[in-house]
Amino acid sequence: MLLKERDFEAVALEPMTEEFDEVRLGAGLSHKIAATLSGTGWIGRNALVITKPFGSAVWLTTALTDAPLETGMPVDESQCGSCAACVESCPWTRKYIKRAARRKL
Ligand code: SF4
């Protein structure tokens, strides 16, 4: 890895689907949270990371490093606004949202 060749600590974390927790709907490290903290995008109503250039058509991988890299501003608010196109068009998204709402009770 390029960062290690330059004497920085670096770990690449691939998606860990085999460690997926069905109750928490997540794995050991949330790539979605890492994406929002790095300013990559926000978590949309469809529960995917939404990026301005590519929408949700992205594949997330996280790299942890002590290299002094420039970072984006964390995104802590959804930018879906009044849009609900994914919810209205996808029965599985509606089902996911209903299930998540039940867990908050
Ligand atoms: S609500 Fe609209 S902007 Fe947000 S994830 Fe769904 S389709 Fe995308």
Q: What is the DSSP string of 8-39?
A: --EEEE---GGG-BTTTTB-SS-HHHHHHHTT
Q: How far is the CA of 49 from the centre of ligand 1 (A)?
A: 10
Mutate to test the pocket of ligand 1, among 46, 48, 94 (most ligand atoms within 8 A of CB): 46
Mean pLDDT by 10 residues, the chain (105 residues): 90 74 75 93 92 94 91 92 90 81 72
Q: What's the pLDDT at 99? A: 83
Q: What's the pLDDT at 101? A: 78
Give the ligand 1 atom nearest the CA of 85. Answer: 7
Residue that the structure tokens 């790539």 belong to: 31
Length of the chain: 105
CA 92 to chain centre: 18
